[in-house]
C-alpha cells in the first residue's frame, strides 16, 4: 500500500473519529446543556414570579398595616360617637399639662354638619394665667397636626368657635383669667333624633289609634 493511500486512510479515520466524537459526545452534551438551560430559565421564571408575589404580599401587608394605623388615627380624631367622657378626660389632662384649672365642660346636642358627619358643640370653662391659657389653646389646636406627610394625632379634632376672657368671679385674681370657650368636636355617626321629631312621628300614630 502506497504512502498516499495510507495518508488517505488515516485522514478518513480522523474524520470518522471527529464525526463519531461529535455525534456520540458533543451533540448529546449540547442537547443536555440546552435542556438544562431551558430548565434553568423555567425555574428562574418561577422564582421571579414567586418573588414578585412575595413582594406584592409584603406591599399589601404594609399597606394594610398603614391603613389600620390611619383608621385608628381617624377614629381617635373623629370617633363614630360623641364619646363625651373621654373628651372630658382629654381636656382635663391637657389643662393639667398647661397649668390651668379645668372647671367644667357642658356638651350640647350633636347636630348634622353641612359637609357630612356630625358636630358635637360644647362649652368649656377654665381658669389660669393668660400665657397658660394660650398654651392650653395651642395644645388643643395641635391634637392633630401635620409632620411631613404624616398626621400626628394625639386627641380629638376640635375647632374653637367662640372665646371669652373675663375676670374670675371666685377663687381668682389678676393675672388669672376665666375663659369661656365655645368649641366643636366631631363624630362620624349620625346625630340622635330630636325629641321634637320623635314626638311628631308618634302623634300621627296616636291620632290614627284614636
DSSP track, 99-145? T-EEEEEEE---EE-TTSSEEEEEEEEEEEEHHHHHHHHHHHHTSEE
Q: What is the DSSP pairing of strand 118-129 with strand 150-153?
A: unpaired
Question: pTM for the full model?
Answer: 0.57
CA-CA distance, 23 to 7, in Å (whole number)? 24
Q: Domain limits of the chain?
A: 1-77, 84-187
The one-digit pLDDT tens for each residue of the chain (210 residues) are 555 555 555 555 655 566 565 556 666 666 666 777 777 777 778 777 777 777 776 776 766 666 666 666 777 788 888 888 888 888 889 899 999 888 888 888 888 887 778 899 999 898 888 889 889 888 888 887 766 667 677 788 888 889 888 887 666 666 788 888 899 988 888 887 765 444 444 444 444 444
pLDDT score at 123: 92
Spell out the CATH class of 84-187.
alpha beta
User: Which element (helix H / strand E) includes 187?
Assistant: strand 176-187
Cis previous bond, 175, omega within 30: yes
Distance of CA 53 to the CA centre of its chain: 23
Amino acid at each position: 500500500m502506497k504512502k498516499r493511500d495510507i495518508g488517505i486512510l488515516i485522514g478518513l479515520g480522523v474524520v470518522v473519529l471527529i464525526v463519531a466524537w461529535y455525534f456520540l459526545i458533543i451533540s448529546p452534551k449540547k442537547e443536555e446543556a440546552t435542556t438544562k438551560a431551558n430548565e434553568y430559565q423555567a425555574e428562574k421564571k418561577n422564582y421571579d414570579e414567586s418573588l414578585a408575589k412575595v413582594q406584592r404580599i409584603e406591599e399589601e401587608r404594609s399597606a394594610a398595616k398603614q391603613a389600620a394605623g390611619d383608621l385608628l388615627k381617624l377614629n381617635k380624631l373623629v370617633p363614630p360617637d360623641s364619646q363625651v367622657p373621654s373628651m372630658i378626660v382629654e381636656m382635663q389632662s391637657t389643662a393639667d399639662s398647661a397649668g390651668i384649672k379645668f372647671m367644667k365642660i357642658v356638651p350640647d346636642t350633636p347636630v348634622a354638619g353641612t359637609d357630612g358627619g356630625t358636630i358635637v358643640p360644647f362649652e368649656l370653662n377654665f381658669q389660669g394665667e393668660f400665657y397658660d391659657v394660650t398654651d392650653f389653646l395651642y395644645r388643643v389646636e395641635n391634637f392633630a397636626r401635620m409632620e411631613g406627610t404624616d398626621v400626628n394625632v394625639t386627641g380629638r379634632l376640635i375647632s374653637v368657635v367662640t372665646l371669652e376672657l373675663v375676670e374670675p368671679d371666685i377663687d381668682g385674681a389678676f393675672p388669672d383669667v376665666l375663659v369661656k370657650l365655645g368649641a366643636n368636636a366631631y363624630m362620624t355617626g349620625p346625630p340622635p333624633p330630636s325629641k321634637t321629631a320623635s314626638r311628631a312621628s308618634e302623634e300621627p300614630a296616636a291620632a290614627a289609634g284614636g
